[in-house]
Amino acid sequence: MDMNFTADSSLAPSRWRKVAYGRMQPGYDDNHTDETFLEDMVMNANVVKRNMLKVMQDSVSISQYLCIVFLVVLVWIYTLRSTLNENSLLLLDISLLGSGFIILVLTEEMLSLKRLWNYVLSVSFFTTGLFVLAPIYQTLTRSISSDSIWAVTISLLLLHLFLHDYSGSTIRPSGALKNPNLTSCISLNASIVASVFIASRLPSRVHVFATMLFSLQIFLFAPLVTYCIKKYSFRLHLLFSLGLMAVTLTFVYSLHCLLFVLLVGILIFVNVVCPYWLIRIQEYKFEINGPWDEAKLCFDITD
């Protein structure tokens, strides 16, 4: 009797243990799980419940930059129509450059004299380079038709808007946690090429220089300035964005009513329809987490 009990005990499999590394346990398959496998399952642990007003406020950054791009296109059109001469463009460039530096000085808390001097040197270098390269830009697309130039320019601007980083700046501001990514750099290059195409249709070297300087100021430094404003005060960011939208709509309406309707529709779609869609689709989000998930690092490996 005792001998049979001992034999049965030796043939019974040992208790299964949940171990990550080790030998295969006798009597159990490699993918074996017991009844406690689903005890640690958590559903929708990381799903964030979003507020409609908060999402609409966050979408203002997108509408703000859309209006900036529309203003750039308006300046291009008025320049090609000779409504804006080279002196007006140069005065506009100087005004934008001065106001941008003032905003940086007033809003950046970690702005040192060394960093400010680096900004001044960078502006001086690319201004000098633009003036030297202006004759080349002027004759760059002489053999290409204007319709092709506008088609390529619009395509590049759409690519620029699609890849643009609306949460940051292509130039890394002081205190920023991450460097600009690859897509934002591609977006910037697309906007620069579009500016070169438009500048190549202008009649004089000064026109080309003033237009390229204006475009680079907007596409390169405007995201930095708006980022600093948003970081300094979100309320000031909203007021600045609403004022920019109003100015853009006014100029677009004076140019063409159909473009005005198009821009109004885009702004409503970005600021109202898209946030509403995001809130609605959150109801259908279903996420499952458990011990089978990959381990996540709780620290930054780049530090």
pLDDT digits (tens, 9 = 90+) for 238-293: 999 999 999 999 999 999 999 999 999 999 999 999 999 988 887 777 777 776 66
pLDDT tens column, 119-135: 788 888 888 988 998 88
Spatial separation of the C-alpha atoms in residues 60 and 300, rounded to whole Å = 30
* pTM listed for this prediction: 0.77
CA–CA gap between residue 45 and residue 287 (Å, rounded): 7
Q: Which of 35-44, 112-121, 272-281 has the lowest mean pLDDT?
A: 35-44
Amino acid in position 44: N
153 within 8 A of 197, measured Cβ to Cβ: yes
List, in order, residues 6 or more apart from 290 with CB less than 8 Å away: 38, 40, 41, 42
